[in-house]
Each structure stands twice: as C-alpha cells, then as structure tokens.
C-alpha cells in the first residue's frame, strides 16, 4: 500500500510551524512531528520513520539547525531542507558545509514549500541512482544503493501526480514495460515510471522479483497459477519465457 512522504518540522516559531504543517497536510504530506529544539528532533529521528526534515537554522537551544543537519548527514540517509529568515552570505556559506538538499527563505508561499520539497526529493533520489551507476557508494551502503531510489530497505518511491509515494516491495505484484514507461502494479493501483525494465529490476529484491518475460517483472510471492505459457497474478495473465518457466517448475519441485 502506498504511503505519503513523512516530514519532520523543526521550527522554534510555533505560529510559523503550525502554518507550515497546515500547508503541507493540505498538499498531501504526512507530518510525523512538529518540534522546536535540536534534542526533540534527534529523539524523533531515533524513534520515528522520517523521509524528509524541514529545519529552521536558528533554534531555541544551544544547538542550531546546522548542528541538526550535521547529525542527519552522519546518521541518516534522508534529505533535509533549511527553512530560515537568514539569507546573508555568512549564513548561506555556513549552511553549505552540511550539504542541505534545499534552502528556503521565509516568508514563503505554499507553492514555494511544495516546489522545494519535490526538488529536494527528486535530487536526492537522482543522486542515489547516479552513485549506484558510477559505483561510488561505500560498502556500508551497498544494499541501499542497489535499490537506488529507495530511502528505506523495504520499499521504493514512485511519483504519482505531484507526490512521491512509498510502496512496500511486498505490495508490488508485477511490472509491465510499455514503450518508455513502466507500469508498476500493486493490488489496487497502477503507477507509471520512466525507466528501462532492466534498470528497474536492479532496484528490487533479487529473491522476490524476476524477469518473467522481455516485457514483465513479477513478484513470485503473488503468482496464483501457472500453465505452459503464462502465469496468473491477480486475475491477470502474464506471458513467461522458457527460462522463467523452467525456473518456476524447478522451484516448485525443490
């Protein structure tokens, strides 16, 4: 089942924070929490699932938003955006040291907030894909990078309209190639992704997803039936190659 992006707001001005939360929820994002100091944010990150953090640089504590950005960079593989009233050269240069995924200056409109988040997410995902293709990821992150556009190990992000949705790998039934697009099918929804089928297969768990045909990837956990030419998943007949047929039969007999 797809899930909206989960956002943590770290802002010591309660009025601004509440306004941001209202704007984000109206767009369709989910707010994990709304906190005012570094220590609260660290605790939320430790205990909750967070996909993106919006951080005010000046917080109501000794530790700043830049300290929080450094903490995120060292401990989590998620994007964050600085949201601040300060756009002077010194502040910007200081902020750049922790490599934020975005920088939004107050005051701003809902569209500015939405655009900043979407660009940050898109660049974050593209950066992981580029690292994977160039082989630049370190050993500790090998599994995450192999999934390339996944933020969590058990799911993948797919864009639909104006939001990125998280889809659990187990909910994906099959993927069909259609010209330059892929049709990602879950139990009750379809998502269009622009990617070669071969590249997308590399982002999925290798023990569950297989190339059943030149135009199909299937999740073997969802196969309902099989004959000499096809398999059935959720009442959909999917053609299979000779190699995949032999693989399934072998697996059934093992």
CATH of the domain at 51: 3.40.50.2300
CA angle 86/89/90 to nearest 5° reads 85
Shared domain check, 120 and 27: yes
Shared domain check, 207 and 102: no
Instruction: Quote the mean pLDDT of the chain.
Output: 84
Structure confidence at residue 128 (pLDDT):
58
Q: Could you tell me where the beta strands, DSSP code E, fall in the chain?
A: 6-10, 30-35, 52-55, 80-84, 102-105, 155-160, 163-168, 174-178, 181-185, 190-194, 209-213, 216-219, 225-226, 230-233, 236-239
Give start and end residues of each alpha helix (H) in 171-231: 197-201
**Structure confidence at residue 72 as a pLDDT band (50, 70, 90):** very high
Shared domain check, 193 and 105: no
Shared domain check, 21 and 122: yes
Shared domain check, 195 and 115: no
For residue 195, the domain's CATH number is 2.40.50.1020
Mean pLDDT of the 179-190 span: 87
Number of domains in the chain: 2
Percent of the chain, pLDDT > 70? 85
Residue 81 CA to residue 62 CA, distance in Å, equals 20
- Establish if 165 belongs to a structural domain: no
Residue 221 CA to residue 212 CA, distance in Å, equals 13
Structure confidence at residue 38 (pLDDT):
96
- Establish if 133 belongs to a structural domain: no
Q: Which of 126, 158, 182 finishes a domain?
A: 126
Beta-bridged to residue 194, according to DSSP, are 181
Top-confidence residue, 151 or 246: 246
**Structure confidence at residue 168 as a pLDDT band (50, 70, 90):** confident
220-224: long-range contacts at Cβ-Cβ below 8 A with a sequence spacing of 24 or more? 220/248, 220/251, 221/170, 222/173, 222/174, 223/248
**Structure confidence at residue 135 as a pLDDT band (50, 70, 90):** low
Q: Which of 70, 99, 126 finishes a domain?
A: 126
Residue 217 CA to residue 252 CA, distance in Å, equals 19
Structure confidence at residue 107 (pLDDT):
86
Residue corresponding to tokens 């590249």:
199
First CA to last CA across the chain, in angstroms? 31
Shared domain check, 116 and 199: no
Is the pTM for the entire model greater than 0.75? no
- Establish if 12 belongs to a structural domain: yes
Structure confidence at residue 148 (pLDDT):
34
Helix (H) or strand (E) holding 202: none
pLDDT in tens, 15-37: 999 999 999 998 889 999 999 99
Residue 45 CA to residue 53 CA, distance in Å, equals 9
Mean pLDDT of the 196-202 span: 86
pLDDT of 114 strictly over 50? yes
- Establish if 135 belongs to a structural domain: no
Find the domain containing 212 and state its range.
Answer: 172-253
């Amino acid at each position: 089942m797809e899930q909206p992006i989960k956002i943590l707001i770290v802002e010591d001005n309660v009025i601004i924070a509440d306004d941001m939360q209202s704007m984000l929820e109206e767009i369709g994002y989910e707010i994990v929490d709304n906190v005012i100091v570094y220590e609260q944010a660290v605790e939320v990150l430790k205990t909750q699932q967070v996909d993106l953090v919006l951080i005010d640089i000046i917080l109501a504590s000794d530790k700043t938003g830049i300290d929080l950005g450094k903490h995120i960079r060292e401990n989590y593989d998620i994007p964050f955006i600085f949201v601040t009233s300060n756009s002077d050269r010194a502040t910007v240069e200081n902020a750049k040291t922790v490599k934020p995924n975005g920088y939004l200056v107050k005051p701003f409109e809902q569209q500015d907030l939405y655009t900043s988040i979407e660009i940050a997410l898109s660049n974050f995902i593209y950066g992981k894909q580029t690292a994977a293709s160039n082989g630049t990821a370190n050993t500790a992150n090998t599994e995450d990078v192999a999934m390339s556009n996944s933020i969590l190990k058990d799911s993948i992000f797919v864009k639909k309209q104006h939001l990125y949705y998280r889809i659990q790998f187990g909910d994906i039934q099959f993927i069909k190639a259609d010209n330059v697009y892929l049709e990602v099918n879950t139990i009750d929804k379809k998502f269009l992704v622009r990617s070669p089928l071969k590249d997308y297969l590399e982002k999925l768990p290798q023990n569950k997803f297989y190339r059943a045909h030149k135009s199909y990837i299937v999740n073997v956990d969802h196969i309902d039936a099989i004959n000499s030419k096809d398999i059935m998943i959720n009442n959909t007949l999917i053609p299979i190659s000779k190699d995949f047929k032999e693989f399934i039969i072998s697996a059934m007999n093992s």
